[in-house]
Chain A
Amino acid sequence: MSSELRASGATRAFIAALAASVLYCASAAAVAAPPAGTELAVEQVLRRGNGAEAQTLDPHKAEGVPSSHVMRDLFEGLTSEAPNGDIVPGVAESWVLSEDGTVYTFRLRRDAKWSNGDPVTAHDFVFGLRRSVAPDTGSKYSQILAPILNAEAVISGAKPPEALGVRALDDHTLEITLNAPTPYLLGLLNHSSTYPLHAASVREHGERFSRPGNLVSNGAYKLKDWVVQSNIEVERNPHYWNNANTTIDRVIFYPIEDQSTELKRYRAGELDWTDELPNNQFGWIRENLGDALVISPWIGTYYYGFNLTRPPFKDNPKLRRALSMAIDREILTGKVTQFGEIPAYGWVPPGISHYESCTLDYGGWPREKRLAEARRLYQEAGYSKANPLVTEIRYNTQENHKKIAIAVAAMWKQNLGVRASLLNEEWKVFLENRKQKQVTQVFRAGWIGDYNDPYTFAELMLSNHGLNDPGYRNPEYDALLEQAARTVDKAQRMKLLHEAECMMLDDHPTAPIYFYVTKRMIRPTLGGYESNIMDHHYSKNFYMLAR
């Protein structure tokens, strides 16, 4: 074992304390049960608007937010989340980390059961994890498991799934071996790509194992019905280990993409929860339905990217900084999006546990100072009124993106004299062009984090990352991230990530615009709802109050 990976005495003590504190949290963060004395509704049914139709209920193939909402109710991973977003034990009731930080040993609950009564064993997790990385499965999220030993080799097909660093020591003990210490691993273990599967029913039903009637799940609910384009209904799983604390009996998810329609159905009393809200009705909603309006920060950043591989933005940091400074973010969030989005002067959204996000220096400047500096930089970059910058803003077809693009183009024109044309494209075409980097100049982008750690944003700017649409290539940045990945000390790791974020922001491969918020109607009779930055909610924590 190399000397870098041997933890010092202090760090060992730290890790032991960490494990102990986790066990303490386990007992303290019990599932939220309704407070004594609350009058509950007779019928405990929750009706949720769920956005687009879920593509699949196979946890290892699922992608997209709508299916993740349903899966969270159907399945449970090794860890779970408390209503406020903290990591708590899931199927694993406790765990121990080895001295060098690379081997986790999980002890599984003995009373954890599948919806058909079979016990949940460590073998189910081994089966699930191997299937998740197997190339045949075609999972889009197998990269989440990259920290596990040999995961990348299995994903690329170089090694068989059996080589993955997970093994069942016995029916209730699971051992996971990592490539290097991974402080954020526990947060990954409640992602759907790490869920266990009931091997027998997968083998019996093959591709159809995720259908109603076939699907065996280990979460608080089981699948009752799925009418494509109409609804997905889940009902209580009586075998769930914590079923005694589950109040809601049934949850019905309605795929409603049109936000206006969703709001009408809420108003008609058919929904208790909307996934989103129509942007142009904010004022009315706030006035008339204010007690049901819930707005909270979400782990996502909306930004404009610059294509760094072509002129005019190649090798021109001054121009990029000038354009970013010339955007009036307060006006965009106050007048265009209007729902309380947070103006963004950074990359990683605020609110991630234990992390201090970086902020661009001009975030606090008065407007005049900011614009004056922007004009100065614009001139230094070689542009002026006689020689204005001519560029294009590309976005995917959507009302909101159009409004923001119009506003930004107007701001650039007014403040700098830039001549920006607007170009909207259909989603798939837009994605293709953005990835190819052949024709893009300024493009709209947004990213919602996959897990509660700054790395889910930091990695996007790695030189070889598939989502690095600006084409940012900074070896120093890559080195910092690599160093952070090998740092066991949590605080030190966060510092390194912070440093990297600041470095990247100053180079301006992007102009951040705003941080996302979730905005929805939550009927006041729904109890137990708590906003959290990941927007992960478990129906087992809710209860319907009597009207």
Chain B
Amino acid sequence: MLSYIIKRFIGAWPTLLILITLAFFMMRAAPGGPFDTEKTLPPEIQANLDRKYHLDEPLYQQYLRYLGDLLQGDFGPSFQYKDYTVNELIATGFPVSLRLGASAILIAFVVGGAIGTFAALRQNSATDYSVMAAAMTGISIPNFVMAPLLILVFAVYLKWLPAGGWQDGAFRNTVLPIIALSLPQIAYISRLMRGSMIEVLRSNYIRTARAKGLPQRTVLLRHALRPALLPVISFLGPATAAVITGSVVIEQIFGIPGLGRYFVQGALNRDYTLVMGVVVFYGILIIVFNFLVDLVYALLDPKIRY
């Protein structure tokens, strides 16, 4: 196990380096720069700004300079939000996105798993079909349609919840965004869970457990759940990625100061440092998360040994 962990750790660095290099050069390849706006700058001031931010240096030199700063943990100043550094923006934005994303995944996992199991136990009944149909709707309706609908119903008409804003993380402000983020994932997970649970329930060892006279609850929770979870766990990797990218839309619609918006806004503004910072940050996050998922595999399935 230890050697496995070390191997994964060493393998992460080249991945990260390739990611940084690709992102860096792709960003610079796009036409237009961070200081291009409708109002043109006098050439002397443009030259001044370029010098200040090292944009006048040859590209490979800027790249090496950036790597050097990265190793010291400095993501650089933001070109667009001139009063803030990228470190500060990520430090304030990440906890927000994390709270939303983690809550959404957790809810999706628990609720989706429960719904999927529920449907599996009543396989091919009317309940099963209606639950799966609802799940299908959840998968098909995109985020940016669902979110405004939720706002309209719960905030504008019923006035139960706020229509947007963060208010420093007040609980009321998190309800709708988390629901909007988690709904598509609940749908996916419930279908996955149902399928995998049905298969597990057919296996020989489950039949043995039932034959031994164990109550249904014990059969489910002790014997069936863990193997049934395997496909769901492997889905968590892409699910997290989806939640991260989905958060761009949700954060925009609900006005939430998270990291997702910096991704898109930064690219559109050619805010090189901000985009690089968010890309590197998310890259590390996904690498770490995938690694943790693989470890959980080993916990769940005794047949998997590293």
Which residues in A have some Cβ–Cβ distance to B below 8 Å? Answer: 53, 55-58, 61, 63, 135-136, 138-143, 155-157, 207-208, 210-211, 227-231, 254-258, 260-261, 264-265, 267-270, 426-429, 431-432, 435, 466-467
Query: Is B199 interfacial (CB-CB < 8 Å)?
Result: no
Which residues in B have some Cβ–Cβ distance to A below 8 Å? Answer: 30-33, 36-42, 44-45, 48-49, 52, 80-84, 89, 92-93, 148, 151-152, 155-156, 159, 162-166, 168, 251-258, 261, 265, 268-270
Q: Are the C-beta atoms of B152 and A264 separated by less than 8 Å?
A: yes
Per a CB cutoff under 8 Å, which of B31, B52, B84, B255 touches A429? B31
Q: Are the C-beta atoms of B166 and A270 separated by less than 8 Å?
A: no
Per a CB cutoff under 8 Å, which of A140, A207, A268 touches B163? A268
Q: Are the C-beta atoms of B268 and A427 separated by less than 8 Å?
A: yes
Q: Are the C-beta atoms of B39 and A63 separated by less than 8 Å?
A: yes
Complex Cα distance, B251 from A258, in Å, reads 11
| Given A138-B52, A139-B45, A265-B37 contact (CB < 8 Å) | no
Residues on A with beta carbons closer than 8 Å to the beta carbon of B256: 229-230
Residues on B with beta carbons closer than 8 Å to the beta carbon of A156: 42, 44
Known: A230-B165, A261-B255. 5 other contacts (CB 8 A): A53-B81, A56-B81, A135-B48, A255-B255, A431-B38
Q: Are the C-beta atoms of A143 and B42 separated by less than 8 Å?
A: yes
Per a CB cutoff under 8 Å, which of A210, A227, A427, A435 touches B166? A227
Cβ-closest chain A residue relative to B265:
A53
| Given A135-B45, A427-B268, A140-B80 contact (CB < 8 Å) | no
Residues on B with beta carbons closer than 8 Å to the beta carbon of A57: 83
Complex Cα distance, B40 from A257, in Å, reads 24
Least distance between B81 CB and chain A CB atoms (Å)? 6
Sampled A-B contacts (10; CB under 8 Å): A63-B37, A141-B39, A229-B255, A229-B256, A229-B257, A254-B255, A265-B165, A268-B162, A428-B32, A428-B33
Residues on B with beta carbons closer than 8 Å to the beta carbon of A139: 45
Complex Cα distance, B268 from A428, in Å, reads 7
Residues on A with beta carbons closer than 8 Å to the beta carbon of B33: 428
Residues on B with beta carbons closer than 8 Å to the beta carbon of A63: 37, 39
Residues on B with beta carbons closer than 8 Å to the beta carbon of A268: 151, 155-156, 159, 162-163
Q: Are the C-beta atoms of B40 and A432 separated by less than 8 Å?
A: no
Q: Are the C-beta atoms of B164 and A265 separated by less than 8 Å?
A: yes
Q: Are the C-beta atoms of B44 and A228 separated by less than 8 Å?
A: no
Q: Are the C-beta atoms of B253 and A261 separated by less than 8 Å?
A: yes
Cβ-closest chain B residue relative to A207:
B83
Least distance between B133 CB and chain A CB atoms (Å)? 29
Q: Are the C-beta atoms of A432 and B36 separated by less than 8 Å?
A: yes
Residues on B with beta carbons closer than 8 Å to the beta carbon of A208: 83
Complex Cα distance, B43 from A157, in Å, reads 11
Complex Cα distance, B45 from A109, in Å, reads 34
Cβ-closest chain A residue relative to B144:
A258
Least distance between A211 CB and chain B CB atoms (Å)? 6
Complex Cα distance, B44 from A429, in Å, reads 23
Least distance between A384 CB and chain B CB atoms (Å)? 37
6 closest A-B pairs (Cβ-Cβ)? Answer: A428-B32, A466-B40, A268-B163, A229-B257, A230-B257, A56-B82
Residues on B with beta carbons closer than 8 Å to the beta carbon of A228: 81, 84, 89, 92-93, 257
| Given A58-B83, A61-B82, A268-B163, A258-B261 contact (CB < 8 Å) | no
Least distance between B147 CB and chain A CB atoms (Å)? 9
Complex Cα distance, B257 from A141, in Å, reads 29
Complex Cα distance, B33 from A230, in Å, reads 26
| Given A258-B253, A261-B253, A431-B83 contact (CB < 8 Å) | no
Complex Cα distance, B227 from A427, in Å, reads 51
Per a CB cutoff under 8 Å, which of B31, B44, B80, B156 touches A432? B31
Residues on B with beta carbons closer than 8 Å to the beta carbon of A230: 165-166, 255-257
